[in-house]
């Protein structure tokens, strides 16, 4: 019986990759130094897995930015606008790669980055491939071959990992009408065959092709593409062993045709589809090895060995040990690197820490399960079961008062007093906003000074009063700057916040925190998700003091800024001992209390961000209704305790809303702000077709790129917006918060944005 890992975190246990990439972009280190840092991370990962006894160690799971972008470069799916980057003197393949990810504004070029969206139902963002009709492909980057050779040089024989060809196409987007991207499979497949040939010649015996789209609802032509692709691969490489890996759900609905796929091994996610095992065993031929994902690659709780062993033993009885591999459910990029780095008892109690496992510990769990298959009479097993039972009965986890409050929530708590048509009239009289009102999404750049103050405060080197006075001065200056620029609705900048979820988690009971629990969100952007270990409640107000201070600094409107219940849930590591809907309801009640307190403090506009609503949608349509019912209700509970005159905003980003637009409307936010600039306002199709009744702020510039769009570009986007939407419903704002940007970019971009809004007002008057 073998242990099989699908992928390991690539950021480094102390975020070495983030720091190296950002230093390279800033011109502080050379490309050679960046490549060296990447090599050291890969080498450490390979050696760790070998040391822990992992039999199938992946390569090409490392990336300098994103694995889908890697694949686009590999098969030369490089949009024409980026070709000029390579023509500039001294520019390399890596510079082209980063230009595709981040955009490029230098050397007389101004190039918009690829679109970015969520990787299935995770908080990881990938770069969306762009496809055109009859698009040719060819081998451009040899990264996967190079990294296999790199590991081989270090004395480690790896299993190269590639995104499977069908899923790669399905992850992309048609950039012109009149064709279906899946039809490009005949153009793409020869490049994959060339890659596999080079890997076989280099000595690879097993290849992992990730096909996560298998868990989704596939159309007939997509199923046919799978059948053609894997038949052609087997025909071309009769001795190369292909592992097809699915994850994030069950593949039970695909088994009728999957059973005839000519592959050597199939990976299934049993943490999100335990019930599929008996069907998989019944349908998948006995000569196909099964990689069983019994260790959760998406969450940080320890594995219940008893439960996993029952699943493994069921498979072994039918297949034999030689046809069963023990695996995580998916790549471990979704969890932090190493729990051993957590040494702060104040933020993470030892009792809670004992219930957790990060990437390294999950590999140890694979090794432990391999030992325990032969006998459960082992200290490893008994210790594990004691911890499982201790968590179930712990007073840290359960709070009867919180459960009772959620249970007794009154009817009507999820409904505003009047419909939007009534509220809009009252709010316009109350707020007196111009046409095309301008605002930002909430955060402003967190400078080195602000981060240094926070660190000094945490270390006790800066007193509370001194720290808060420094932040208040920063807020004052930010308010003054927004007034000077001419923004209509201001924000306080969120300088007191480390992260939009972590900040609230620190103020709520039922949350724990890590020092080094970083996971990659996109590129060099890493987040440190809170851990929801128990029942959630709000002991005191969380934002009222800071927002009230900001409002006292100006006669203009200042928005209260909150993170919504579903996003707090989605972007945390969530307890798995009760339904997610129950935890979301507890968080919603806590946010509702904060909203009511902000209104009492005189705040007239309150934003409750929910960028993760779409992200949490189940991957199969038949499961959507159950999720949307509780997710939308949670938002409405959080937002519906205020008067008609109080304007509720929400923010959502990097989502396709077409298929859930009616549910978005049911959220009943007065204003929704969304990401639109990378898609050139295409996302507004759904809102226009649905005749969305409430106000919308389609983002007019991409804050995830350092490029600053021109005023004309923003006007053009706004003109596109009003071709979709009634102009009286349109707000003007960036795509997202400005926390990660530099002040130099932010200042110029917002000035241009305000000018663009003014131009639209003047055109409105002329017309």
Could you list the residues known to form a binding site for L-homocysteine, using ranges: 441-443, 494, 609
Show Cβ contacts of residue 224 under 8 Å, excluding neighbours closer than 6 positions. none
CA proximity to 301, closest of 565, 512, 148, 151? 512
CA gap 406, 74 in Å, rounded: 51
Closest Cα partner for 333 from 268, 247, 215, 275? 247
CB of 71 within 8 A of CB of 168?
Answer: yes
Instruction: Work out the angle at residue 438's Cα, subtended by the Cα atoms of residues 435 and 444, and round it to the nearest 5 degrees.
Output: 175
In the block, tokens 């934003």 appear at 607
**Distance of alpha carbon 457 from alpha carbon 464, whole angstroms:** 7
Hey, is 531 helix, strand or coil?
Answer: strand
Structure tokens at 385: 């079961």
Closest CA to 315 of 290, 287, 294: 290
Cα torsion for 208, 209, 210, 216, to the nearest 10°? -140
- 723-728 long-range Cβ contacts below 8 angstroms, 24+ apart: 724/681, 724/684, 724/685, 724/687, 724/688, 725/684, 725/687, 725/688, 725/692, 725/696, 725/698, 727/435, 727/436, 727/760, 727/764, 728/435
Residue ranges at the known binding site for L-methionine = 441-443, 494, 609
Instruction: Write the DSSP string, 147-158.
Output: HHHHHHHTT---
CA-CA-CA-CA torsion for 187, 192, 193, 196, nearest 10 degrees? 170
In 3-state terms, what secondary structure has residue 330? coil
CB count in 10 Å sphere of residue 568: 33
5 in helix, strand or coil? coil
Distance, C-alpha 731 to centroid of its chain: 26
Q: What does the alpha-carbon distance between residue 132 and residue 176 come to, in Å, rounded to a whole number?
A: 6
Task: List CB contacts of 340: < 8 A, sequence separation 6 or more.
Answer: 360
Find the angle CA(244)-CA(250)-CA(255) to the nearest 5 degrees: 65
Catalytic one of 267, 334, 649, 704: 704
Angle at 54 between CA 50 and CA 56, to 5 degrees: 105
R_g (Cα) of the chain, nearest Å: 26
DSSP per position, 212-233: GGGGS---HHHHHHHHHHHHHH
Cβ-contact 172, 79 below 8 angstroms: no
| Helix axis angle, 305-319 to 379-393, nearest 10° | 130
Beta-strand relationship, 525-527 and 125-127:
unpaired
Any catalytic annotation for residue 704? yes
Place of tokens 């510990």: 361
Would you say how long the chain is, in residues? 767
List the catalytic residues.
704
């Amino acid at each position: 019986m073998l242990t099989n890992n699908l992928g390991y975190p690539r950021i480094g246990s102390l975020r070495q990759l983030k720091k190296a990439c950002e230093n390279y972009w800033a011109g502080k280190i050379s490309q050679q130094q960046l490549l060296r840092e990447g090599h050291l991370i890969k080498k450490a990962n390979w050696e760790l897995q070998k040391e822990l006894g992992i039999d199938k160690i992946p390569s090409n799971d490392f990336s300098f930015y994103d694995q889908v972008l890697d694949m686009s470069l590999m098969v030369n799916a490089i949009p024409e606008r980026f070709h000029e980057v390579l023509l500039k003197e001294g520019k390399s393949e890596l510079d082209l790669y980063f230009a595709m990810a981040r955009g490029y504004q230098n050397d007389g070029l101004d190039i918009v980055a690829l679109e970015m969206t969520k990787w299935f139902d995770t908080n990881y963002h990938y770069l969306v491939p762009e496809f055109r009709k009859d698009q040719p492909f060819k081998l451009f980057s040899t990264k996967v071959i190079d990294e296999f050779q790199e590991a081989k040089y270090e004395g480690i024989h790896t299993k190269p990992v590639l995104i499977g060809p069908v899923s790669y196409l399905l992850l992309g987007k048609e950039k012109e009408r009149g064709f279906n991207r899946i039809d490009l499979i005949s153009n793409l497949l020869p490049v994959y065959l060339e890659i596999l040939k080079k890997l076989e010649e280099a000595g690879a015996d097993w290849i992992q092709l990730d096909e996560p789209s298998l868990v989704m609802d596939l159309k007939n032509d997509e199923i046919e593409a799978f059948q053609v692709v894997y038949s052609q691969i087997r025909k071309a490489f009769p001795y190369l062993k292909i592992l097809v890996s699915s994850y994030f759900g069950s593949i039970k609905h695909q088994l009728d045709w999957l059973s005839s796929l000519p592959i050597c091994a199939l990976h299934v996610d049993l943490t999100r589809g335990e019930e599929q095992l008996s069907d998989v065993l019944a349908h998948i031929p006995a000569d196909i090895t099964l990689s069983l994902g019994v260790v959760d690659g998406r969450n940080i709780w320890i594995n219940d060995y008893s439960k996993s062993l029952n699943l493994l033993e069921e498979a072994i009885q039918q297949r034999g040990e030689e046809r069963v591999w023990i695996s995580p459910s998916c790549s471990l990029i979704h969890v932090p690197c190493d729990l051993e780095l957590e040494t702060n008892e104040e933020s993470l109690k030892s009792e809670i820490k004992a219930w957790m496992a990060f990437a390294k510990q999950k590999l140890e769990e694979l090794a432990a399960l391999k030992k325990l298959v032969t006998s459960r009479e082992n200290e490893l097993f008994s210790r594990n079961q004691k911890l499982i039972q201790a968590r179930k009965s712990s007073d840290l986890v359960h709070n009867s008062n919180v459960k009772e409050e959620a249970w007794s929530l009154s009817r009507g708590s999820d409904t505003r007093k009047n419909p939007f048509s009534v509220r809009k009239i009252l709010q316009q009289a109350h707020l007196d906003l111009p046409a095309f009102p301008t605002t930002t999404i909430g955060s402003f750049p967190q400078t080195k000074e602000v981060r240094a103050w926070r660190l000094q405060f945490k270390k006790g080197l800066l007193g509370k009063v001194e720290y808060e006075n420094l932040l208040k001065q920063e807020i004052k200056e930010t308010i003054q700057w927004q007034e000077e620029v001419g923004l209509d609705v201001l924000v306080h900048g969120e300088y007191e916040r480390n992260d939009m979820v972590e900040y609230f988690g620190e103020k709520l009971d039922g949350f724990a925190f890590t020092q080094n629990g970083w996971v990659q969100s996109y590129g060099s952007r890493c987040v440190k998700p809170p851990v929801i270990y128990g029942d959630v409640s709000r002991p005191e107000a969380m934002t009222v003091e800071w927002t009230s201070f900001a409002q006292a600094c100006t006669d203009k409107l200042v928005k209260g800024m909150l993170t919504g219940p579903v996003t707090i849930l989605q972007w945390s590591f969530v307890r798995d001992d009760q339904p997610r809907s129950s935890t979301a309801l507890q968080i919603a009640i806590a946010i509702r209390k904060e909203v009511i307190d902000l209104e009492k403090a005189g705040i007239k506009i309150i934003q409750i961000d929910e960028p993760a609503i779409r992200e949490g949608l189940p991957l199969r349509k038949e499961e959507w209704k159950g999720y949307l019912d509780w997710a939308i209700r949670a938002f409405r509970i959080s937002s519906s305790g205020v008067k008609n005159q109080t304007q509720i905003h929400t923010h959502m980003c990097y989502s396709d809303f077409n298929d859930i637009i009616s549910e978005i409307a049911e959220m009943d936010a007065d204003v929704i702000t969304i990401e639109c600039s990378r898609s050139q306002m295409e996302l507004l199709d759904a809102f226009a077709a649905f005749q969305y009744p409430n106000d919308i702020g389609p983002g007019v510039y991409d804050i995830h790129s350092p490029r600053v769009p021109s005023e004309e570009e923003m006007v053009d986007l706004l003109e596109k917006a009003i071709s979709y939407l009634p102009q009286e419903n349109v707000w003007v704002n960036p795509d997202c918060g400005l926390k990660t940007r530099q002040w130099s970019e932010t200042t110029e971009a917002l000035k241009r944005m305000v000018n663009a809004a003014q131009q639209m007002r003047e055109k409105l008057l002329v017309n």
